[in-house]
Amino acid sequence: MRLSNEDHMQISDLAEKLGITTRTIRLYEKFGLVEPPKRTEGRVRYYEKEDVKRFKFVLRCKALGLTLEEMKELAELYNREDRVPDKIMPRLIELLDTHLNSIKEKVATLQRLEKDISEYRTRIVDQFNLGR
In angstroms, rounded to a whole number, what is the distance separating the alpha carbons of residues 80 and 44?
A: 28
d(CA 46, CA 11): 6
Q: What is the pLDDT of residue 88?
A: 85
| Residue 3 within any structural domain of the chain | no
Low-confidence ranges of the chain (pLDDT < 50): none
- Model pTM? 0.78
* Residue 52 is assigned to a structural domain of this protein: yes
**CA gap 47, 26 in Å, rounded:** 12
- Looking at residue 46, the DSSP 8-state letter turns out to be E
Structural domain span for residue 104: 11-127
Alpha helices in 31-67 (DSSP H): 49-63
- Give the pLDDT of residue 23: 97
Quick check: is 65 in a domain?
Answer: yes
5 found inside a domain: no
Report the distance separating Cα 75 and Cα 54, nearest Å: 9
| CATH assignment at residue 103 | 1.10.1660.10
In the prediction, which pLDDT does 3 show? 63
Q: Answer whether residue 4 is part of any domain.
A: no
Longest dimension (CA), the chain: 79
pLDDT, one tens digit per residue, over 89-106 is: 899 999 999 999 999 999
Burial class (CB in 10 A: 0-12, 13-18, 19+), 106: exposed
How confident is the model at residue 120, as a pLDDT? Answer: 98
At residue 132, the pLDDT reads 64
For residue 87, is it within any domain? yes
> Is position 1 within any domain?
no
User: How many structural domains are present in the chain?
Assistant: 1
Does 2 fall in a domain?
no
